[in-house]
Amino acid sequence: MLKYRWLILLSFLLTFGFSANTNNLSTTSWKLQILKVFDIIEHQYVEDSIEDEQLVHGAIEGMLNSLNDPYTRFLKPTGFSELKTNLQGNFYGIGIHIGLKDGKLVVISPMEDTPAYKAGLKSFDIISSINSKSTTGISLEEAVSKIRGEKGTSVVLGIHRETNSSNFNVQITRDIIQIKSIKESVMLKNNVGYIRLMTFESKDTYTQLKDAILKLKKDGMEKLILDVRYNGGGLLHNALDIAGLFIGSKVVVKTVDRKGDSLELHSTKPNSQIFSGPLIILVNGASASASEILAGAIRDNNRGIVMGTQTFGKASVQEVIPLQDESAILLTTAKYLTPKGSDINKIGITPDVVVNIPSEDIKLIQEGKYEYSLEKDFQVQQALNYFKK
């Protein structure tokens, strides 16, 4: 009955010590107030069925929420289990990357060939409700937990889209989501290769991209367009190792912690560079996290050209800290900086060459009349023209 209470007390005493000086006494007193409230609720609250676990989880969530950091959050045992499942490359859900921007739950990008993509969800859609419940104040992990579910079941998302005059609902049937890192890998004209990298989430992303590059080189590739538009990011080590395919052992990204201490991160693969030819990275507002790390590494090491539109601006380091009851804390412990020290969090990366989608294409896309092909993709074609110059 007392295990959670004594666990918290022991943690406080180990953390803050037994010193009786004024500063430590004040700090410890604040912490001990949590135990006091815990005891008051347990003995005086009108309902006597409140579990200790419920109170402790609520206290943890409250502390993390007070930091006003959407990426620092508490993972209940089910949420932590889902996170680990996601990293294996397969899970049940609808197939979207989501994030929090200006306090709103935003679709960073739908994954192609998934229920969300087929249902017509678009990048920058705001999810205003999940199954008729408002998403105001929701955490990312809570949102993920509510959107995911068993295969064949449905979820109803309330959507606010800038181009629509009013909100609308989209009902989506969940299915197995198989994460495909490479959407397309082809040779274009003039010995230019094109690879569309969809995600950094899969444990096989690095191997898949490396194999795709080697195959295109065998087919005569001399220049490469690497497309990370609508790539919502993924695993840090994938970003490091993938950058190494183009820059070798040079600095990929820097991290800066609360003390201002900086750490330079490199690819973990020895002799990793396999392509040294002309390179263009295509980005847009849905390129986030690991995609931005890669783009920053390419730009700051003068290894290639970043082309497209401003990226999303998600550049913080989260550490997963497991707790004893199979729950966990996802805690922001540092910030990412590009190799030259640029802080891109909430700002994003400004491309070397800005290429916006033509208004006539945007209109066709909004009307559902646009039939996509690489030949019609304005930004891809501008990349090809840039190589000609």
Of 123, 202, 314, 327, catalytic: 314
CATH 3.90.226.10 range(s) for the chain read 182-388
Q: Are 197 and 209 in contact (CB under 8 A)?
A: yes
In 3D space, the residue among 241, 286, 239 whose CA is nearest the CA of residue 112 turns out to be 286
* Residue pLDDT, tens place only, 13-71: 444 444 444 455 556 677 777 778 878 888 888 887 777 788 888 888 888 888 888 77
Residues ≥6 apart with Cβ < 8 Å to 4: 52, 53, 55, 56
Residue 175 in tokens: 């299915």
CA distance 111 to 280: 22
Residue in the block written with tokens 């609508």? 230
CATH 2.30.42.10 range(s) for the chain read 90-178
Q: Read off the amino acid at residue 377.
A: D
Residue in the block written with tokens 């507002």? 285
How confident is the model at residue 90, as a pLDDT?
59
CA distance 338 to 298: 10
Q: Are 147 and 93 in contact (CB under 8 A)?
A: yes
How confident is the model at residue 35, as a pLDDT?
77
Q: Which fold has domain 182-388?
A: 2-enoyl-CoA Hydratase; Chain A, domain 1 (3.90.226)
* CATH class in words for 90-178: mainly beta
Host H or E run for residue 127: strand 126-130
CA atoms within 13 A on the CB side of 347: 12
Chain CA centroid to CA 378, Å: 26
| DSSP per residue, 170-220 | EEEE-EEEE--SEEEEEE-STTEEEEEE--B-STTHHHHHHHHHHHHHHTT
Residue in the block written with tokens 């560079």? 273
Task: Reply yes or no on whether 300 is catalytic.
Answer: yes
Q: Are 127 and 107 in contact (CB under 8 A)?
A: yes
| DSSP per residue, 360-375 | HHHHHHHTT-----TT
More confident residue, 234 or 380: 380
Q: How many helices (H) and strands (E) does the chain have?
A: 11, 19
Task: Reply yes or no on whether 189 is catalytic.
Answer: no
How confident is the model at residue 22, as a pLDDT?
44
Of 125, 227, 241, 300, catalytic: 300
Q: Helix H segments across the chain?
A: 3-16, 22-44, 52-65, 77-86, 115-118, 140-147, 205-218, 236-247, 290-300, 359-366, 378-388
Confidence label for 228 from pLDDT (cuts 50, 70 and 90): very high
CA atoms within 13 A on the CB side of 14: 6
Task: Reply yes or no on whether 128 is catalytic.
Answer: no
How confident is the model at residue 197, as a pLDDT?
96
More confident residue, 54 or 248: 248
Of 185, 202, 289, 327, catalytic: 289
Q: Name the percent of the chain lying above pLDDT 90.
A: 43
* Residue pLDDT, tens place only, 100-140: 888 889 998 888 788 998 999 988 899 999 999 999 988 77
Q: Read off the amino acid at residue 7.
A: L
Q: Are 167 and 158 in contact (CB under 8 A)?
A: yes
Host H or E run for residue 158: strand 154-160
Confidence label for 263 from pLDDT (cuts 50, 70 and 90): very high
